[in-house]
Amino acid sequence: MTTNDVTVKTTSELTKGDIVHTHGMRLRLDIGAAHTRPSGTFYVWTGTVLNIDYIREQDIVPTSYLRTQRWEEGKGWVTDREDVYVVTGIEYQNWLVENPA
């Protein structure tokens, strides 16, 4: 389905660079992976939250869900990013994706 602003895509149709609307976020998909099992294919996309200030102000998503950490020698675990979110889904799950301008 397509409207002027968004297209509905299944998880299997998502591509790098798509801007997905989820939980009030505008999430640009950066890295994706798929894992196939006998029950079907499971998809995982890591993306950058483009409206992070709004999400923080509205307290829509816990801030712990928006950050990644990495090990830094001499410091231990340090926050790496605070604008990241992961979407997951099976093949036929639907997502609202912005149409390119």
| pTM attached to this predicted model | 0.85
Q: Phi then psi for 55, rounded to 5 degrees?
A: -60, -40
Q: Is residue 101 part of a domain?
A: no
Beta strand segments in 38-101, E: 40-49, 68-72, 76-81, 84-90, 94-98
Alpha carbon distance 90, 12 (integer Å) = 8
**How many Cβ atoms sit within 10 Å of the Cβ of residue 43?**
19
Do 51 and 57 form a contact (C-beta atoms < 8 A)? no
Q: Is residue 75 part of a domain?
A: yes
How many domains, in total, are found in the chain? Answer: 1
pLDDT tens digits, residue range 48-97? Answer: 999 999 999 999 899 889 999 999 999 999 999 999 999 999 988 999 99
CATH of the domain at 47: 2.30.30.30
Q: What 8-state DSSP symbol labels residue 100?
A: P
